[in-house]
Amino acid sequence: MPSAYLPILITLMAATAFVAGGLLLGAIFKLRRPYSEKLLSYESGNPPVGEPRERFSIKFYVVAMLFVVFDVEAAFLYPWAVAFGNIGLYGFWGMVIFILIIFIGYAYDWKMGALDWKAVNKGTREG
């Protein structure tokens, strides 16, 4: 092994030993006195209200997935816009088709009510 990598190896070994030692010492010396107040869920200093494991509305997940899809679309549009002058008509029409496909998906989401926050889908439980 080249001697140039020796300081990196020593640093990695020291960091690993430090983390493992901290975890081990924490496990050995922690206080093991559970009581009812410690077992309650923490709500920023407020008295706990309701069940700790309430279900989220599915709409939050739908919004997150739609955000990811349209964010990826924006990530694809940026390089196209930067290289717009060099790609010619082939690249232009390819991006027009891509935008049309995204628009069809957007129209479908709108028609299905995914963008309407007040709409309640059948079969979901609001929590």
Both tokens assigned to 122: 């059948």
pLDDT tens for 12-38 read 999 999 999 999 999 998 877 777 777
Residue 74 lies in a domain: yes
Q: What per-residue string of b and e applies to 70-89 under the rule 16 or more CB within 10 Å gives b?
A: eeebeeeeeeeeeeeeeeee
Range of the domain at 71: 58-112
Dump pLDDT digits (tens) for 42-68.
667 677 676 667 677 778 888 888 888
In a domain? residue 107 = yes
How many CA atoms are closer than 13 Å to the CA of 53, on its beta-carbon side? 0
Query: For residue 8, what pLDDT is reported?
Result: 93
The structural domain count of the chain equals: 1
Question: Which is more confidently placed, 115 or 123?
Answer: 115
Answer whether residue 85 is part of any domain: yes
Residue 68 in any domain: the answer is yes
Question: What predicted TM-score, i.e. pTM, was given to this entire model?
Answer: 0.48
- 120 part of a folded domain: no
What does the pLDDT look like over 72-98, one tens digit per residue?
Answer: 888 888 888 888 888 888 888 999 999
